[in-house]
């Protein structure tokens, strides 16, 4: 299975639109133990992506993503801007010079995103963050390399892994972000970032073409 700039465009446009559409829901999730601005901040960042959509350099998938990363990081406030901007930038850097993207390329790009988030957020799996669902989702992507699954089925597997992992964050105590200030009170609620990853992957899987 391989992809191109068209696939990357379709994926990013879907994610941007879903982030804006889920602004209220993501904010409600964050308000349980956080400051409730996650949905608002993320939506403002990806609104600019939609507004400037035709202006982004599409010379290759990597360049396209790095330009989006810059726009997102510049617009989103709080901690979300640096985290999501870094994730997209790291993926873009890995995909530069790759007009055709293989599944192994996507795994490498997303692993780089994960490492970028860890460094930028000074966090890791188990701290009750988006990493707790993103890492299992990428593990599912890597596991699909030898199965011959279609892109759509692979995305469904990633979404399922992310959803299960996001629900598991209910048992965790937050160790990063505003939620960490609540200590043990953060146990019992799902992490907003982890749940957002699951929601976005599910939406992407639902609209991805069969072919």
DSSP 8-state class, residue 127: S
Q: State how far the Cα of 151 lies from the Cα of 201, in Å rounded to an integer.
A: 12
CATH number reported for the structural domain that contains residue 184 in this entry: 1.25.40.340
The reported pLDDT for the residue numbered 168 is: 96
Closest of 87, 79, 163, 85 to residue 118, by C-alpha = 87
- The pTM of the full predicted model, rounded to 2 decimals, is 0.92
Region of 97 please: left (phi>0), alpha (psi -120 to 50) or beta.
left
Q: State how far the Cα of 68 lies from the Cα of 193, in Å rounded to an integer.
A: 20
Residues with Cβ within 8 Å of 110's Cβ and at least 6 positions away in sequence, in order, are: 91, 134, 138, 141
Q: State how far the Cα of 93 lies from the Cα of 65, in Å rounded to an integer.
A: 8
The reported pLDDT for the residue numbered 148 is: 82
The two structure tokens encoding residue 155: 């995305």
Quickly state the pLDDT bin for 187 (edges 50, 70, 90).
confident
Q: Which domain holds residue 10?
A: 2-207
Counted domains in the chain: 1
The reported pLDDT for the residue numbered 178 is: 56
What average pLDDT does the chain have?
91
pLDDT in tens, 41-55: 999 999 999 999 999
Is the separation of the CB atoms in 131 and 125 below 8 Å? yes
The reported pLDDT for the residue numbered 72 is: 93
CA angle 13-112-209, nearest 5°?
A: 35
- What are the CA-CA distances from residue 129 to residues 63, 152, 153, 161 (Å)? 28, 26, 26, 15
Of 179 and 127, the one with more pLDDT: 127
pLDDT in tens, 10-44: 999 999 999 999 999 999 998 887 767 889 999 99
Of 186 and 134, the one with more pLDDT: 134
Would you call 40 helix, strand, or coil by DSSP?
Answer: helix
Crossing angle for the helix pair 61-75 and 38-51, to the nearest 10 degrees: 130
pLDDT at 174 over 90: no
What is the three-state SS of 140-178? HHHHHHHCCCCHHHHHHHHHHHHHHHHHHHHHCCCCCCH
């Amino acid at each position: 299975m391989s992809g191109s700039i068209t696939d990357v465009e379709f994926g990013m446009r879907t994610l941007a639109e879903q982030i804006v559409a889920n602004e209220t829901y993501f904010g409600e999730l964050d308000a349980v133990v956080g400051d409730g601005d996650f949905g608002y901040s993320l939506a403002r960042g990806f609104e600019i992506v939609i507004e400037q959509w035709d202006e982004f350099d599409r010379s290759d998938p990597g360049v396209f993503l790095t330009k989006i990363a810059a726009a997102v990081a510049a617009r989103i406030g709080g901690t979300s801007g640096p985290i999501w901007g870094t994730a997209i930038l790291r993926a873009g850097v890995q995909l530069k010079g790759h007009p055709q993207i293989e599944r192994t390329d996507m795994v490498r790009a997303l692993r780089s995103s994960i490492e970028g988030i860890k460094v930028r957020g000074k966090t890791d799996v188990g701290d009750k963050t988006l990493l707790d669902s993103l890492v299992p989702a990428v593990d599912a992507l890597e596991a699909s390399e030898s199965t011959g699954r279609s892109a759509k089925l692979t995305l469904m597997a990633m979404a399922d892994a992310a959803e299960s992992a996001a629900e598991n964050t209910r048992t965790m105590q937050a160790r990063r972000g505003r939620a960490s200030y609540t200590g043990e009170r953060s146990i019992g609620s799902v992490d907003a970032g982890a749940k957002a990853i699951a929601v976005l992957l599910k939406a992407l899987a639902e609209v991805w073409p069969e072919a």
